[in-house]
Structure 1
Amino acid sequence: MLRHTILIAIRSIKKNKTSFLINIIGLSSGLASVILICLWINDELSVDAFHENKENIHQVITNLDWENKIITMENSPLLLADALTEEFPEVKSATSTSADFMEPSGVIQYEDRTKVGTGIFASENFFDTFSFNLLYGNKNEVLSRKDNIVISESLAKSLFANPQSAIGKTLVWDYKWSDGGRKRTLSVSGVFEDVKNNSTLTFDALLPAKSMVDDSRWAGDWSGGYAHTYLVLDENADVDELNDKIAKFLTTKLKDRDNFELFTQQFSSTYLNDTYENGVLVGGRIFYVRLFAFIALFILIIACINFMNLATAQASKRIKEIGIKKVVGGRKRGLIFQFLGESIFLTILATLFACILSFLVLPYFNNITGKSILFKPSFALILGIIGLAIVTGVLAGSYPAFYLSRFKPVSILKGRLNTVAGEVWVRKGLVVFQFSLAVIFIISVFIINRQIDFMMDKNLGYDKENVITFKLKTDYKNRDVLMNELEAMSAVTDVAFMSGSLLESGDGQGGYSWRGVDSDKKVMFKAPRIGYNYIETLGIGVLDGRTFSKEFNDDESKIIINESALRFMNLEPSSAIGTIIDHGSGQKEIIGVVKDFQYGSLHNAVEPLILRFRRGGTDMALRIKTAEVSAVLNEIETIYERLQPGYPFEFSFLDSEYQNLYESENRVASLSKIATLLVVLISCLGLFGLVMFTAQQRRKEIGIRKVLGASVTRIVMSLSKDFLKLVFISILISMPIAWFVMNNWLQDFAYRVALDWKIFLISSLIIVFIAFITISFQAIKAANTNPVKSLKTE
């Protein structure tokens, strides 16, 4: 039976080469897209999901409730892990790692070999909690002593001849973190397998968490948020009940922590669900996972629709075959099996082409998505592709199989078989569905790209062009010398530093009070820390007063506010300068007011902001003249490497960094363009096939019209009008759906473009034009056919 089905399928392919070609192109391109998207989704879902105990590992998250906002953060006190383990039976164990700003980074040296490495501080039970593979060393002892260090396999190979020989060796690590640094002599106690790309915990080395207290005295205090805390919960633990219990736990340790609320989130889900608004989880990367899952599904459905449409449209060519089979005893079930078998056979061929196509375009796909996905055979991958082929074959062939097998043999053989109205409407409905999706995709691409262009071109309140940024890797001892030498360069116009990043907008501070506001009111300000000349270097406009200046010997008691803070504090520009406001046990003087500028990305609105003075900072910014950029960079690199020995000069341009803020949006834009091209291509292939079939069915009618004097234009319009009606119906259906989808997407941006009706009109005209070209190509060919050929059989 199987051999018979394959033989019939091959004969059908030979007989209908054009239809086969249309189907194989549509199915293979659609399946290739589905395979690539599924590989990407699988890669996203695999992040932090490799830990054996992933179901029970939860991370402690903190909501900090201020009067004007709720801030959600991962940082917590180092003491929290042990305290929760002792006081809550649901917590089997807890592990701490250093917060991001406390991650050590610097030159690791063994004898005459050096390597720049980054690491984290971690609790003794780190390898019990997380499934990182410890190659050498005892997992219960490698982090037991303060002078221990556990290094990665690649780092061990760089410093030692053999990773195993690293155990017991002594090395020196001159490292720093956000606000400090140390030079320590450490003993290698273990070597672990290199951390894979699907882990959000990334490190070259591990240091004992207890030694973090020696590096910063606040790390061992309940008031310091120097750690990330992970809990291993009992399998029967009620997470919601535990969250209620620990919510105000910090208040039991420090009375002034009544505005802190703790809760837990499953660690393996944090990567995909990391976006909070006012303390409530609103999504994250999971949005794009779901989005592209839907896109893959739609592309697959559109490809299947083409198959169904062409198969049912060509049913008349096979009705005699079906009638004879039924007369000689063929059963409906056998015919269904035959047609489904043909569909699955064709789908398997398309899947083979799709796998080849996926393999060829995977490097380009990785470049767009920023991934390192490999198309390597595995049981799960092969099983998944086989399952995809079978499901697609059944889905694509189900309607034609049931449609063709239901014909009655008497009607077939007497020539009384008429096209059922329902079948025509189903075919038209499928065309409408295809082109509705195509219109939605085209509108979405226009709006996404328009929003990205808007973000790139928006006036941010500072000048990001020709600004180079880089980090100092060692302590501040050489910073002033570096700045002096950079300022002496003729191609450098300004040099400055800050602590933190202008684009990450992570620096904030509370505890301010001023005349007219309650002293106990808890208000959080954005509060970046900058040095002299930073405002001038970035070209931030000064509304009143002055900036930080060496001439006035400004220090930490002086602050500068932005316009939003001026309004929020209910101050007048003329009287704000010189105003004294309280902060903790001290006071701050406002010396200047700057114009509002974008601190962070356009996902966030401009907020009340206080610029704090900072004597130390490792985030350098310098403005250069545009001529001979390469020569300028080479000179800067020479100065940097002389004053920062052992560290490579890693720089970036501020405008490029700003563009990277919208990496997700740029990738969505690129992928949506490709998806749109595929949807339009597959839809047009299907439309082309239907027009071709319709022209064949009406060839005698066309011949008669031509004999009676009908022009080519009139015949083309006659063939085209029914299909164009379907396209116009698609446009009407897709408009409100596209508006709803894109309006929701734009809500994620504080500053966004308007949904201009022109975009909808242009998108509609594009799809009408594409559809008309597709229809006209085949219609003109049919209209120009010699009528003698179509009428001579009558």
Structure 2
Amino acid sequence: SNVTDPFDYIVSYDVYLDNFNVHWDNHNVHNFVMLKPGANVAAFDAKIKDFISTKIDVTAVTLSTQPHIDNYLYGKFTNGVQDGGRIEYVRLFSLIALFILLIASINFMNLSTARATRRMKEVGVKKAIGAGRRSLILQYLGESLLLSFMALGVALVAVYLLLPFFNKITGKELSLFADLRMTGIFLLLTIVTGLLAGSYPALYLSGFRPVTILKGQFTSSIRELWVRKGLVVFQFSISIILILAVIVVFLQLRFVQSKNMGYDRENVVYFFKEGKLQDDSRQFMQRLREIPGVVNASSATGNLTTHWGTTTGVEWPGKPKELNVEFGCQAIDFGLIETMGMQMAKGRAYNPAFPTDSSAVIINEVAAAEMGFTDPVGKQVEFWEEKVTIIGVVKDFHFKTIHKAVTPWIFYFRPDQTGAVVARLAPGDQQATLLRIEALFREMNPGSVPDFRFMDDDFQTVYVSELRVGVLSRYFAGLAVIISCLGLFGLAAFTAERRMKEISVRKILGGSAAHIVLLLSADFTRLVGVAVCVALPLGYLITRKWLDGFAYRIELQWWYFALAGVLALVTAWLTVGSQAVKASRVNPVQHLKD
């Protein structure tokens, strides 16, 4: 399951060379090189950099190597330079996890310092009988570490139970203890978290002066209040940024799913020719089109959504010598454009009524613009050193992802080179249609069965990373908001507890429940309001950078930010309000009689 390139069988590359027209300006060849131990990779790259230019007259195409071990996480390149890949998502979720841990640590700091008055006399007595500050710091750090290790136990159980679900979302087969290093990482993370979360409370509590405490003269300092408020603002800023990110990711993915890709992928199935079908291709395609339930059928090279050839071997009148344009190129049969539901902007598609189509090509609108042709139909160009005529311009389409702009494209008519059969099925009983296609496949190619794949499923696979990011970001954002609200809930409960006598006096003097709820909620509302002001500009920069990875994307609207801010405020009001309402309902006598 961990193999990089799963395969059913391997054949010699000579077989490929014998069956396909391969040129030095093809870009569909990947070379794997085993270097000698100790070889200088940079020197090797320098030697092969301009190798292609020794074979064809081109200077823009250069070669370079990449360690195969890096290919999975660092597989994205821009102009030959490594530029991200899956590692970006690893870093993203690692950063989010770190922020969630920080939010939890902030809760511990806030609640510990807020409840410090409960431990004042303990600190005062211990210091009075000789306890040093160092011993008190060690005591409070020890308490924090103990809580951290208890949390580790809970976390391991939770991860063990949730890991199958997580693996299903991510499509991985992760295990809790992959190796001994994981155990070390868990322990180190627990110790660092315990020390980080407990450091401020330990320094704060151990700093109380015993005389002041025992005389009952201790009051909270302005600095303490500002630190606590700053921590609340920080944790809610992170939560708001995550809420905004979830909104933007969801809307971008919905845009991707609904965007007109330039072809109709619904009800399109494809499979590959094998064995005798390559020899009897024309007869097979003719009989395939006659099967009930098959609306139309054709064939092409590649599987259309992710694999095809590319080339720079296209020349046209007036092309600058230094210009190198990379074209997507596919050999196709009659009917592919119609089968895919693509639209012609100018000219016509391939037609059996025109015997000269074997020396004709069809381009897309981007290719016409690159060539500088306003009316390309009838123009002659040179394709792989052969003179060909442009007979049509197909409207731009996205066979690949919309991360990239539409690629210049050239279709050429070579039915004998097409390996993928594409069929559009009538809606309804498609299973019966597939069984009829399979029967024809078996009849004409005994001992083999077609491997059917629906193009709509392939489309989803292309965006699987974004879909997983969308799902995981919702869980992470929800977790961050819940943890932030837990901290706010604790602070609100403690604040209400400390102000019970004030609340009781206000009630006796005629204060309404609504007035008391508003009184207790006002401070927290201001803090969350500040967090909104801090988070939204940062959220804009982060979401803008993520959207820049798509050539076609949604535009950031004001209401995305308004919605994120309102959701944060409403969540805070509900959290604090529950405690405020509870406090407003107390019997004043209970708190004024002592």
Please list the CA deviations of residues 237-262 of structure 1 after superposition, one character each: whole Å capped at 9, or x if unmatched: 6544443344224555x364654422
Q: Contact between 2:301 and 2:308, CA under 8 Å: does it hold in 1?
A: no
2:232 matches 1:431: yes
Structure 1 residue 643 displacement after superposition? 4.0
Distance 1:274 1:618, change over 3 A: same
Match of 1:470 in 2: 271
Match of 2:120 in 1: 319
Match of 2:479 in 1: 678
Distance 1:589 1:749, change over 3 A: same
Match of 1:640 in 2: 441
Match of 2:293 in 1: 491
Distance 1:686 1:645, change over 3 A: farther
Alignment of 1:439-454 (within 5 A): 439-454=240-255
Please list the CA deviations of residues 46-88 of structure 1 after superposition, one character each: whole Å capped at 9, or x if unmatched: xxxxxxxxxxxxxxxxxxxxxxxxxxxxxxxxxxxxxxxxxxx
* Secondary structure of 1:749 counterpart: coil
Match of 2:306 in 1: 504
Please list the CA deviations of residues 190-231 of structure 1 after superposition, one character each: whole Å capped at 9, or x if unmatched: xxxxxx61x425456667xxx533653599999487551324
Amino acid at match of 1:623: R
Which structure is higher in helix share? 2
Amino acid at match of 1:294: L
Match of 2:4 in 1: 200
Q: Contact between 1:213 and 1:219, CA under 8 Å: does it hold in 2?
A: no
Unaligned runs of 5+ in 1: 1-195
Match of 2:17 in 1: 216
Amino acid at match of 1:564: V
Out of 443-452 and 551-560, give the one that drifted further.
551-560
Amino acid at match of 2:387: Q
The partner residue of 1:593 within 375, 387, 393 is: 393
Amino acid at match of 1:539: G
Match of 2:522 in 1: 721
Separation (CA, whole Å) in 2 of partners of 1:687 and 1:319: 23
* Secondary structure of 1:294 counterpart: helix
Match of 2:560 in 1: 759
Please list the CA deviations of residues 80-138 of structure 1 after superposition, one character each: whole Å capped at 9, or x if unmatched: xxxxxxxxxxxxxxxxxxxxxxxxxxxxxxxxxxxxxxxxxxxxxxxxxxxxxxxxxxx
Structure 1 residue 607 displacement after superposition? 3.2
Distance 1:570 1:205, change over 3 A: closer
Match of 1:747 in 2: 548
Please list the CA deviations of residues 410-448 of structure 1 after superposition, one character each: whole Å capped at 9, or x if unmatched: 111111111121111111111101110111001111111
Amino acid at match of 1:244: A
Separation (CA, whole Å) in 1 of partners of 2:583 and 2:208: 30
Please list the CA deviations of residues 569-593 of structure 1 after superposition, one character each: whole Å capped at 9, or x if unmatched: 23333xx332222335421011122
Match of 1:612 in 2: 412
Match of 1:284 in 2: 85
Match of 2:569 in 1: 768
Alignment of 1:703-714 (within 5 A): 703-714=504-515
The partner residue of 2:494 within 693, 697, 707 is: 693
Match of 1:556 in 2: 358
Match of 1:530 in 2: 332
Match of 1:332 in 2: 133
Separation (CA, whole Å) in 1 of partners of 2:459 and 2:21: 36
Q: Contact between 2:141 and 2:194, CA under 8 Å: does it hold in 1?
A: yes
Report 1 or 2 for greater relative contact order, CA contacts < 8 Å, sequence distance ≥ 6. Answer: 2
Separation (CA, whole Å) in 2 of partners of 1:554 and 1:421: 87
Q: Contact between 1:526 and 1:610, CA under 8 Å: does it hold in 2?
A: yes
2:194 matches 1:410: no
Separation (CA, whole Å) in 1 of partners of 2:30 and 2:508: 87
Match of 1:230 in 2: 33
RMSD of aligned residue pairs (Cα, Å): 2.4
Separation (CA, whole Å) in 2 of partners of 1:379 and 1:506: 43
**TM-score normalized with structure 1 length:** 0.71
Please list the CA deviations of residues 166-192 of structure 1 after superposition, one character each: whole Å capped at 9, or x if unmatched: xxxxxxxxxxxxxxxxxxxxxxxxxxx
2:368 matches 1:545: no
Distance 1:734 1:585, change over 3 A: closer
* Secondary structure of 2:381 counterpart: strand
Match of 2:383 in 1: 583
Q: Contact between 1:508 and 1:527, CA under 8 Å: does it hold in 2?
A: yes
Amino acid at match of 1:751: Y
Distance 1:558 1:249, change over 3 A: closer
Distance 1:511 1:216, change over 3 A: closer
Alignment of 1:171-210 (within 5 A): 197=2, 199-203=3-7
Amino acid at match of 1:604: K
Please list the CA deviations of residues 368-391 of structure 1 after superposition, one character each: whole Å capped at 9, or x if unmatched: 111011224743222222222222
2:148 matches 1:344: no
* Secondary structure of 2:35 counterpart: strand
* Secondary structure of 1:636 counterpart: helix
Match of 1:514 in 2: 316
Structure 1 residue 364 displacement after superposition? 1.0
Separation (CA, whole Å) in 2 of partners of 1:222 and 1:566: 23
* Secondary structure of 1:497 counterpart: strand
Which structure is higher in strand share? 1
* Secondary structure of 2:33 counterpart: strand
Q: Contact between 1:366 and 1:373, CA under 8 Å: does it hold in 2?
A: yes
Q: Contact between 1:472 and 1:644, CA under 8 Å: does it hold in 2?
A: no
Please list the CA deviations of residues 13-41 of structure 1 after superposition, one character each: whole Å capped at 9, or x if unmatched: xxxxxxxxxxxxxxxxxxxxxxxxxxxxx
* Secondary structure of 1:216 counterpart: helix
Separation (CA, whole Å) in 2 of partners of 1:248 and 1:378: 43
Please list the CA deviations of residues 674-728 of structure 1 after superposition, one character each: whole Å capped at 9, or x if unmatched: 0000000000000000000000110111111111110111000000000010000
Q: Contact between 1:447 and 1:742, CA under 8 Å: does it hold in 2?
A: yes
Separation (CA, whole Å) in 2 of partners of 1:215 and 1:543: 35
Out of 445-454 and 561-570, give the one that drifted further.
561-570
Out of 760-769 and 617-626, give the one that drifted further.
617-626
Separation (CA, whole Å) in 2 of partners of 1:679 and 1:723: 18
Q: Contact between 2:404 and 2:550, CA under 8 Å: does it hold in 1?
A: yes
The partner residue of 1:359 within 160, 165, 178 is: 160
Q: Contact between 2:124 and 2:214, CA under 8 Å: does it hold in 1?
A: yes
Please list the CA deviations of residues 633-680 of structure 1 after superposition, one character each: whole Å capped at 9, or x if unmatched: 333334334444444543232222112211111111111000000000
Q: Contact between 2:58 and 2:324, CA under 8 Å: does it hold in 1?
A: no
Amino acid at match of 2:407: E
Out of 624-633 and 391-400, give the one that drifted further.
624-633
Distance 1:507 1:220, change over 3 A: closer
| Number of positions where the alignment pairs a residue of Structure 1 with one of Structure 2 | 590
Separation (CA, whole Å) in 2 of partners of 1:218 and 1:470: 19
Distance 1:448 1:226, change over 3 A: closer
* Secondary structure of 1:228 counterpart: coil
Separation (CA, whole Å) in 1 of partners of 2:53 and 2:370: 29
Separation (CA, whole Å) in 1 of partners of 2:291 and 2:15: 40
* Secondary structure of 2:415 counterpart: coil
Seq. identity, %: 40
Separation (CA, whole Å) in 1 of partners of 2:373 and 2:52: 35
Q: Contact between 1:580 and 1:587, CA under 8 Å: does it hold in 2?
A: yes
Separation (CA, whole Å) in 2 of partners of 1:568 and 1:413: 84
Q: Contact between 2:167 and 2:174, CA under 8 Å: does it hold in 1?
A: yes
